[in-house]
Amino acid sequence: MFKGFSRFLQRPGERLKTLFGAESAQASENTRPTRRVLPRDEHDVSRRDLSENALKVLYRLNNAGYDAYLVGGCIRDSLLGNRPKDFDVATAATPDEVRQLFRNSRIIGRRFRIVHVRFGREVIEVTTFRGRHGEEDGGNHSQQSDEGLLLRDNVWGSVEEDAIRRDFTVNALYYSVSDFSIHDWTGGLQDLDDRILRLIGDPETRYREDPVRMLRAARFAAKLDFSLAAETEAPIRELAPLLLQIPPARLFEEVLKLFLSGHAVQSFRVLRELGLFAMLFPESDEALQALPWAEALVEQALANTDTRLAEDRPVTPAFLFAALLWPCVTQRTAQVAHEQDLPEVPAQQAAAQQVISRQLQHTSIPKRFSMPMRDIWELQQQLPRRRGRRVFQTLEHPRFRAAYDFLLLREEAGELTPGLGQWWTRFQDADESEQHQLMAEVDGGHPAGNSGKPRRRRPRKRRRNPNRSTPPTLDE
């Protein structure tokens, strides 16, 4: 597993001492970090494992006289022997200077200006070295709220200043294409060796600057199977509510990274453990505690997502959100049906609406995902109805497959007694005569019948004439 780092691992302590001298650096904003250089023959990150396009960007920047490195997840993951997801470049060139060097580039972001250099489908993210913010520029390029939240961070600096502005030590390793060495300013190599995720600088200050770093801590701990350094973990539970200040659109993106990158189950566990899940999905968090099957349902949905990704099969945020919010929908449906005396279908529609609008205060859910999510929920009420033409309408619904998978999930989690799922499994593959036989089974009241629930019609309440104050008499 530790392909890139293996040589380093064989003699970790020794190697570190002889190569770099003293103890592991703990850079803080007040101390000038010392650089440690891992020469090419001391690591296994080969140019063959790196993106050709990212290397092109480095060479062109270097040739134009700008210092430039590969940095972040790509170097961390390469050292761990994993295939990097994307490639990030840090450089001394300003966004405008980068823009001028690459025709295929554009500047994005306001809060954090960066340049995207596009090569077909691959995008290389080029970031100018960040410096210390706040002091010299009178707030023109950086801006912080009274609570310490970094509203803008566009002050340029040197590579060592850039290193200590990054989040975790293992994310602050710089690969140079001039001699293929790796530069470490914050003790990241040692932490990588020890499998520790450590926030750079004073944790509380860094979380206040950007509370999303708490989510990133959970995500990387889950993805890399690293432990959090004690001082990195300590403030999280108390500071978790700072996430409520983050725009829902940004949190939506983070949720996708947490749950659609192949480590969803572990991310979910770490998030709950750290008290962060409740800041993203407050209502689900409550429902998870109230409903005995809810945790199994969410975990199973996440496990299926991880499996699908491992098999290179598609996954959709619609299904993910459908599962994460389903426990709230069922809870609210019962409540609405009771309070407003509504039948189940409109009660669930109203409940779904409420659940979505509350969730939107925390994470956005773009319409292209919330619409199919609602379909998946609504079809849960159609799936038990297997008489007449309706059954074929359900089968032909564009969201049938997702809804059927969702039904299996509910049965597996113990929300429903198994039976209905199997009926649909058979029905999908059946020929016409078998289909009619299966439908007849339903009419005959076979066990496959009603998702384990007896079919029950609510007696309709007679509406009272609202203009009348006396109770209706029997002969009315």
Q: Which of 77, 88, 153, 210 is an active site residue?
A: 88
- Confirm if 142 and 153 have CB atoms less than 8 A apart: yes
Residue 153's binding partner, choosing from ligand ATP, Mg ion, none, with beta-carbon cut-off 5 to 8 A by kind? none
Based on CB atoms, which residue is closest to ligand ATP, 133 or 410? Answer: 133
* Dist CA 38 CA 189 (whole Å): 9
Whether 88 is catalytic? yes
Cβ-based neighbours of 244, under 8 Å, separated by 6 or more: 279, 362
Stretch that binds ligand ATP, among 85-93, 141-149, 382-390, 429-437 (CB under 6 A): 85-93
Residue choice 79, 172, 264, 448 for contact with ligand ATP (CB under 6 A): 172
Q: Does 253 bind Mg ion (CB under 5 A)?
A: no
The residue range among 22-30, 188-196, 208-216, 415-423 that interacts with ligand ATP, by the rule CB under 6 A, is 208-216
Does the footprint of Mg ion cover residue 73 (CB under 5 A)? yes
Q: Does residue 413 contact residue 296 with C-beta atoms inside 8 Å? A: yes
Give backbone dihedrals phi and psi of 270, rounded to 5 degrees, phi first: -65, -40
The residue nearest Mg ion at its CB is 73
The answer to whether residue 167 forms part of the interface with ligand ATP (CB under 6 A) is yes
SS3 at position 179: coil
Q: Which of Mg ion, ligand ATP, none interacts with 167 (beta carbon under 5 to 8 A by kind)? A: ligand ATP
Single out the residue of 86, 194, 204, 295 in contact with ligand ATP (rule: CB under 6 A). Answer: 86
Interhelix angle 344-359/367-382, rounded to 10 degrees, is 160
> Which amino acid type is present at position 38?
L
Q: Residue 106: CB partners within 8 Å, gap ≥ 6?
A: 99, 115, 116, 118
Query: How many chain residues are in contact with Mg ion, going by CB under 5 A?
Result: 4
| 162 a catalytic residue | no
Helix H segments across 341-419?
A: 344-359, 367-382, 390-396, 400-413
Among 86, 204, 273, 412, binds Mg ion (CB under 5 A): 86
Please identify which of the residues 77, 162, 167, 193 carries the catalytic annotation. 167
**Binder among 213, 386, 399, 410 for ligand ATP (CB under 6 A):** 213
Is 220 in contact with 272 (CB distance < 8 Å)?
no
Please say if 179 is a catalytic residue: no
Q: How far apart are CA 61 and CA 449, in angstroms?
A: 68
Piece of 72-80, 162-170, 346-354, 382-390 that binds Mg ion (CB under 5 A): 72-80
Find the helix or strand (DSSP H, E) in which 300 lies.
helix 294-310
Taking CA 397 as the corner, what is the angle to CA 393 and CA 403, rounded to the nearest 5 degrees? Answer: 115
Q: Is 384 in the site for Mg ion (CB under 5 A)?
A: no
Residue 305 binds which entry of Mg ion, ligand ATP, none, with Cβ cut-offs from 5 to 8 Å by kind? none
Does 88 bind ligand ATP (CB under 6 A)? Our answer is yes
- Closest to ligand ATP by CB, 133 vs 166, is 166
Which residue carries 């750079």 as its tokens?
200
| 393 vs 400: CA distance, rounded Å | 9
C-alpha to C-alpha distance for 325 and 348, rounded to whole angstroms: 13
**Shortest approach of Mg ion to residue 123 CB, angstroms?**
11
Whichever of 36 and 213 has its CB closer to ligand ATP, that residue is: 213
Instruction: Name the segment binding ligand ATP (CB under 6 A); options: 167-175, 242-250, 358-366, 390-398.
Output: 167-175
Q: Hey, what are 356's tokens?
A: 């979505």
Q: How far apart are CA 19 and CA 145, in angstroms?
A: 42
Nearest residue to ligand ATP, using CB? Answer: 73
Least spacing, CB of residue 112 vs ligand ATP, in Å: 8
> What's the closest the beta carbon of residue 85 comes to ligand ATP, in angstroms?
4
Positions touching ligand ATP (CB under 6 A) are 72-73, 85-86, 88, 166-167, 171-172, 210, 212-213
Task: List residues with catalytic annotation.
Answer: 86, 88, 167
